[in-house]
Every structure is written in structure tokens, then in C-alpha cells.
Amino acid sequence: MLEGLKKEVCAANRALVKHKLVILTFGNVSGIDRKAGLIAIKPSGTAYERLKPEQIVLADLKGKVVEGELKPSVDLATHLELYKAWPEIRGICHTHSPYATAFAQAEKPIPCLGTTHADEFHGEIPVTRPLTAKEMESDYEANTGRVIVDQFRLTNPEDMMAVLVAKHGPFVWGKSPLEAVTNSLLLEEIARLAFRTMTINPQAGPLGKELLDKHYLRKHGPQASYGQPKK
């Protein structure tokens, strides 16, 4: 079933190593086939270097495994909450990349300090509220997804394709599994730049709205001018 999606998800997971976004077996990428109502996700604790498409696990939107001999990622329930809340996304990536995770552990959003950030994310990268003890005791992974969705009540997840889960790390999404990985790479880079900028100048202020909108919309807005015209 869904051999193409499993190959894409496998390639996206292996790309995490290529981009140095993960160590050991930390992190995972998933993809969804909306028509089939199935999610393809990395199996739990499996080394990226040896990952093969046939090892990718398929699960339905209730989290029931429908294909695969291995146990799915422990973060499956988090991915499910995002897919159910946001029908426009097709891929999700979770890493513990160092700079983005440092901001998450500090429970600080990543401020938009320059145009490199504004080219890809429309404002500061938000951080969720911490989970309560009750939320951690029961349905921890699903509640992680719920606090992410709650964070985006007033934010379009297509304009801000990343979030920092407090004390945990980044979750990033896109219109495909590979796009989610690309957005994770971009997130780590702007987190690194923000950290260095704030080290050089702790009083560095955020980018003004006019310049933020200019850079974001010229690349992602309805009248975007960046790149080549589509044929």
C-alpha cells in the first residue's frame, strides 16, 4: 500500500542525517495520503542509515497500524493531532536540532531579527505553553499535539510552519514530507542566526512589520515575485 508515499517518507527521514538535524535515532518525519486516510511514519528507534521504505509504518487517523511489522514512532499521536486539525498540511518533521531545541528548552520564541528569517517565516517562531502534570500523565503525545494546535488558534499554520514545544523541541510541517524537512533546516538556521545575533547584541530588536511583510510576501504572498514563473 502507498509505496510512493513510503519511499518519500523514507527519503525525508534519511535527509535529516544529511542535513545534520538529528543524532542517533532522535526525531521523525511523516507524510499523509488524505484520500486514503493513512499516515506513513518512521518506525520507533530505527537507525536512519539503515532505514528502508518497506520499514515505514502505515497507520490510520485513529493511530491503528494497518501495515508494517515495526512499532511506529512514539510521536505518532502528536502528528495525528496536527493532521486532523490542519487539512492543508501533508508532511510533519520533528527533530531535536540544537539551536531550535535550545530556544524550546529556554521556553523562548525565536525572534525575527532579520530578513533571512522573514524570507521563510512570517514573524517570530512561537513556543507552546508547558503541558500540565495531568496532560503528561495521560495521552502525553496526543496532548503535545493539542497544545501545538491551541497555540495556532489565531495563526495560519501555512504562514508559520514551525513551533517550539516548551522543554521539548521543534515540530515543523509542510505540503510534503520533504518540504517539512526543508522547513526544519530553515528553522535551525534562523535559530542559529538569532542566537548569534543576540550574543553579539543582546538588545537587538525585531524586524519592523513593513520589512517583515515585504520579504515574506514577495516569496510566499499571492503576488509573489521570487523565483521563476510557473509554466
| Residues identified as active-site | 119, 226
Q: Write phi, then psi, for 187 (nearest 5 degrees).
A: -60, -45
Q: 71 is written with which cell numbers?
A: 512499532
Q: 183 is written with which cell numbers?
A: 522547513
